[in-house]
Amino acid sequence: MIVGVPRETFPGERRVAIVPAVLPTLAKAGLQVVLEAGAGVEAGYPDADYVAKGAKILPDRAEVFRAADIITQVLCYGSNDRTGKADLPLFHRDQVLVGFLRPLGSVETITEIAAKGVTSFSVELMPRTTRAQSMDALSSMATISGYKAVLIAADTLPKIFPMLTTAAGTITPARVLIIGCGVAGLQAIATARRLGAVVSAYDLRPAVKEQVQSLGGRFVELAIEAKDAQDERGYARAQGEDFYRRQRELLGKVVAESDVVITTAVIPGKTAPVLVTKEMVAGMAPGSVIVDLASERGGNCELTKAGEKISVNGITIIGWFNLASTVPYHASQMYARNLTAFLVHLVKDGKLQLNTADEIIRDTLLTQSGEVVNARLREFFKLPMLATKGGT
């Protein structure tokens, strides 16, 4: 089977879906790779490196789509709401598509992909199990984002992070608060600690306390308990407004004491909860920085503007997203390894294995034979039940 790697077209996207290092592994699985010319250049992977590992370079995007049985992208149509639709006419029936599709975003885009007869797999829906860990692209990209958020904050803050004892006296360390201790939050804690900051972290899931402490952070415990704080997939559950109101009241003091606040709380398929109000921002010292990693979903800070860096009464609020693309070399490397593990799982002896008894395939499969087949999506968007084969 042939794996096609088109160049990413989302504005500012610098990652590439497959890197040269994974080509031997794909070849062992019976997969050949064709690449659109220049697809890896912005991530630091020139065409010559791909050719040296056995890939074929094609000069035209349409040629890649024509030749490929499987198309691999970082931001597919769905997650690429700017330029992704231009790829729709290039797909052919029974072609396989693998990448970020933002399945809980718009049912229209997923339906359009289904109408092309494409068999699509969404890496966002990869189950968080031991078997699927090597394929978990969402966690890989969150790791990069958590790391980069701290660097952006450190670069913006008019203070240094570590404590220094100098001839000019002692400089106290910066105080960093991380709200949301998933993969991005834990990486932010680790990075801020490496830079010498005093780090506190809060999450509505008490189970993460030990992880925070193991990284050298202080876990902020509030006198409030979340109900069913974690779902079966390991993600935080949305709570009622009464919970969030009380949470904001208790967090206000901690936020006011922080030089940097990094927020990472997102609920799949829902608007991000507001955890930092404008009143809480007003209580922060001038020069303080907020980096809101939930900005694309509405933001955890009430004042965040998605994609922008703003200043409110001397407080800098950064709502940039797609941060993984700003570290494209290693983000691409991690993503390519995740995709390769999935492709090797999906293709056996040169043939596609659509065994829906396998939860990895069942959970990530979105569209097949012209239909949206993913049960979670059909329930989320309240689509009617699919007729079973045989008409029963």
Catalytic (active-site) positions: 128, 133, 136, 139, 235
Half-sphere exposure of 63 (CA within 13 A, CB side): 10
C-alpha closest to that of 14 among 33, 41, 35: 41
Tell me the two tokens of residue 116.
């092309």
Half-sphere exposure of 24 (CA within 13 A, CB side): 4
Torsion of CA 311, 316, 322, 328, to 10 degrees: 120
φ and ψ of 290, to 5 deg: -120, 125
**Pair 223, 238: CB distance under 8 Å:** no
Separation between Cα atoms, residue 293 and residue 149, nearest integer Å? 8
Helix axes 183-194 and 137-156, enclosed angle (nearest 10): 40
Enumerate residues 6+ apart whose C-beta is below 8 A from 382.
Answer: none
389 burial level (CB within 10 Å; 0-12, 13-18, 19+): exposed
Q: Report the run of H or E that residue 64 belongs to, with start and end.
A: helix 61-67
Separation between Cα atoms, residue 89 and residue 79, nearest integer Å? 17
**Pair 174, 198: CB distance under 8 Å:** yes
Separation between Cα atoms, residue 11 and residue 372, nearest integer Å? 28
Tell me the two tokens of residue 102.
């933002």
Q: Coil, strand or helix: which one is 126?
A: coil
Separation between Cα atoms, residue 180 and residue 187, nearest integer Å? 11
Half-sphere exposure of 117 (CA within 13 A, CB side): 8
φ and ψ of 149, to 5 deg: -60, -40
φ and ψ of 366, to 5 deg: -100, -50
